[in-house]
A and B are shown apart, each in its own frame.
Chain A
Amino acid sequence: MTGTTEVAARLTGLVAALRAHGLRIGTGETVDAAEAAAALGFTDRALLREGLAATLLHSADQRRVFDTVFDLYFPYGVGAPEAGAPGPATADRDHLRDRLAAALADNDEALTARLAIEAVDGLGGYGSSPGADGWSAYQTLERLRPQTLLARVRDDVRRRGGAAGFTDRLLEDEVRRRIEVFRRLVVVEARRRVAERRGRDEIARRAVAPTADRVDFLYAGRDRLAELRRTVHPLARRLATRLAARRRRASRGAIDLRRTLRGSLSTGGVPMRPVLRRRRPARPELVLLCDVSGSVSGFSDFTMLLVQALHDQFSKVRVFAFVNRVDEITGLLRHGAADPEGLGARIRAEATLTGWHGSSDYGTALGEFAERYEAAVGPRTTVFVLGDARTNMGDPNLAAVRRIVARARRVHWLNPEPRPQWGTGDSAAPDYAELVAMHECRNAHQLGALISRILPV
């Protein structure tokens, strides 16, 4: 390919970009990656990708970030595709659609990839003055509208008898997935073209989505939330092992002074044998009080699912949801019955959470909780309040919080907003933070770390 220094610079650039996205890669791994590249050569890009991934990555969820960054630093080529002179845009578009439909029907991945490149080249460019021009995946897809090819591709495959019998019912979903693959290819290609124009370091820093567990709950889109939901069970399993380890450790160590002194009577008051405190194997109770109003529902849903997946770690878990009224939703979350996708909608449909108006009101909701469900909170109960503490200018009702704090063993408040935003606008976070321990909990990564630390054992 090119000189050694160029390759080394490319590789360290890649590593720097990955580090900027929170991947921890040491010098040793970079050296390994270079050795891998030397062993594999630069002729086969797919091999190089796998080789670098094997040496640089440490877990599977980093792969997505890696793939995007790799495409920027080791692009398959430079500049525009070497096609013939582009024809007029409209004819081009219909022609492209025809070929795309054929490629999707054949499930020809190589051709689909090539078409994605041509599509961005033909339809994605905007602007003409240098500095203001670029390549847009959005514009390409808007013009090409690959999703409208679904019926055509499906009928095409059917006509050829490609899917008869039982598997015919799978066809539509399969075509949909192929179209989704094409869309992703277009995004990748547009990013490559932009990176050529704007400098790849900048694009690598800004235009690469972070790993799922570092996406802010408050700004996560629908598909990122779906991706997050799939991590609930693995995360719960990891947390459960961590909790079990903490429990094991907690059960030894503390000296029971009273029983040590009592035992020392037989040795004339000299405490020869220390007696350790025995742990009551009582499992703690948990009460979850979740704000499920639109702004924070992604966060609440995720946390509810996580706690539910951890349910065998507790003797009792009760979950309450509120917007401006409180209702118990433990039943909706019962193991197995919970369909994570429709959870939020079901909660809003089946529980009484709003009265008079639809915006969240912490004061009223907390007051109602303290009033109606006081019995749910006892000296063994740890209460988690999930929400952004934005009261819509209402009364924060600190008295109700004090009442809950007085009854419960511990009260924690998990706030999905970044700490600097607490107390801005209608946020009553500082007021609440004086009464209960409030933690910033912006993404799944933080939540996992927090839960393994503060969950009672």
Chain B
Amino acid sequence: MFTSVDDVSARLAGTGYLASPSVATTVFLADRLGKPLLVEGPAGVGKTELAKAVAEVAGARLVRLQCYEGVDESRALYEWNHAKQLLRISAGRDETWDEARTDVFSEEFLLPRPLLTAIRGDEPTVLLIDETDKADVEVEGLLLEVLSDFQVTVPELGTITATRRPFVVLTSNASRELSEALRRRCLFLHIGFPEEELERRIVRLKVPGIDAALAESVVRVVGALRAMDLRKVPSVAETIDWARTLLALGADALDEGLVRDTLGVILKHQDDVLKAAAKLDLDAV
């Protein structure tokens, strides 16, 4: 898919995703080694966006499996369409049992769920397994087969092997420790907060029309906030929100009053707001 790491950065940038060197390198390797990519990091640094950007670059379809507590095989892999099977059986009354059986368990009655969909297609595919940590441990076992051999076994049909390996991205917020076995099968990528220079470019890309000097001060204030010991430090998403807010307010430079009034956009807890205000020498909020 990609020829070099620089190629990854350049093409991702073309879709509006500015990748740090570590992101670009790991994406390149995931493609080269054909291994799934496990992405961890705080909320709002663009883990899901990465998968979408890769799909766009590769001209691939994006298949997404959103994990949640209680997601199971029939939601993730495949399911038989029972209602349709019943209809089929009652429609063909005079058939022998063998005829009905072979017919009822055929592809027509199979409802593919994301994992099977991603494996079966011939076109290039990016499979996004979002918030893997929310799923139960049993689902991880299911993922192991899919991710190591890229195949799915349906007892009635046989084993379906991918003709074309999908590019797999798993994201996790680390609310649960993923099993060692799953981690071993993946390349690991931790997306942290971007460096100042990169974040400035992100802000200017995502908030067109913002003044360069204002973008710089925004990023510097956010950087200072991240260095504080806050309950929820602002992420890239918050930086962009803040820049948008400031732009909407028609501000062209930061001042005390403005920061004080808009601090709520970047900080989500009242004690964080108070603490930040004290550290930034704002007047009482």
Interface membership of chain B positions 207-221, coded 1 if the CB is closer than 8 angstroms to chain A and 0 otherwise: 000000000110011
From residue 7 to 50 of chain B, which have CB atoms closer than 8 A to chain A? 21-22, 25-26, 28-30, 32-33, 35, 40-41
**Is B110's CB within 8 Å of the partner chain A?**
no
Are B217 and A167 closer than 8 Å at their CB atoms? Answer: yes
Closest to B218 in A: A167
Q: Which of A35, A58, A60 contacts B184 (CB 8 A)?
A: A58
CA distance A21 to B104 in the complex (A): 56
With A60-B40, A166-B256, A167-B221 known to touch, is A24 a contact of B180 (CB < 8 Å)? yes
Q: Which residues of A contact B175 (CB under 8 A)?
A: 237-238, 241
CA distance A173 to B276 in the complex (A): 14
Q: Which residues of B contact A166 (CB under 8 A)?
A: 217, 221, 253-256, 259
CA distance A60 to B42 in the complex (A): 11
Are B180 and A238 closer than 8 Å at their CB atoms? Answer: no
Q: Which of A54, A59, A337 contacts B25 (CB 8 A)?
A: A54
Q: Which residues of B contact A55 (CB under 8 A)?
A: 29, 33, 187-188
With A32-B35, A54-B189, A336-B271 known to touch, is A170 a contact of B220 (CB < 8 Å)? yes
CA distance A51 to B188 in the complex (A): 10
> Which of A39-47, A72-80, A348-356, A395-403 forms part of the interface with chain B?
A39-47
Are A50 and B21 closer than 8 Å at their CB atoms? Answer: yes
> Which residues of A line the B interface, CB within 8 A?
24, 26, 28-29, 32, 35-36, 39-40, 46-47, 50-51, 53-55, 57-60, 63, 165-167, 169-170, 173-174, 177, 229-230, 233-234, 237-238, 241-242, 336-337, 339-341
Are B255 and A165 closer than 8 Å at their CB atoms? Answer: yes
What is the minimal beta-carbon distance from B182 to any residue of chain A, in angstroms?
10
What is the minimal beta-carbon distance from B248 to any residue of chain A, in angstroms?
19
What is the minimal beta-carbon distance from A35 to any residue of chain B, in angstroms?
6
Q: Which of A32, A165, A229 contacts B254 (CB 8 A)?
A: A165
CA distance A47 to B4 in the complex (A): 11
Q: Which of B21, B26, B271, B280 contacts A169 (CB 8 A)?
A: B280
Q: Which residues of A contact B180 (CB under 8 A)?
A: 24, 58
Interface membership of chain B positions 234-273, coded 1 if the CB is closer than 8 angstroms to chain A and 0 otherwise: 0000000000000000000111100100000000011100
CA distance A242 to B175 in the complex (A): 10
Q: Which of A58, A169, A234, A237 contacts B188 (CB 8 A)?
A: A58
Closest to B136 in A: A245
Are A54 and B177 closer than 8 Å at their CB atoms? Answer: no
Interface membership of chain B positions 176-190, coded 1 if the CB is closer than 8 angstroms to chain A and 0 otherwise: 110010011001111
CA distance A40 to B2 in the complex (A): 12
With A60-B40, A336-B269, A336-B271 known to touch, is A241 a contact of B176 (CB < 8 Å)? yes
Are B184 and A36 closer than 8 Å at their CB atoms? Answer: no
Are B217 and A40 closer than 8 Å at their CB atoms? Answer: no
**Is B157's CB within 8 Å of the partner chain A?**
no
CA distance A456 to B28 in the complex (A): 46
Are B221 and A28 closer than 8 Å at their CB atoms? Answer: no
Are A167 and B33 closer than 8 Å at their CB atoms? Answer: no
What is the minimal beta-carbon distance from A39 to any residue of chain B, in angstroms?
5
Additional A-B contact list (16), CB under 8 Å, known A47-B25, A60-B192 = A32-B187, A40-B29, A46-B21, A50-B25, A54-B26, A55-B33, A58-B184, A59-B40, A59-B190, A169-B280, A170-B223, A174-B220, A177-B227, A234-B174, A238-B176, A339-B275
CA distance A35 to B30 in the complex (A): 11
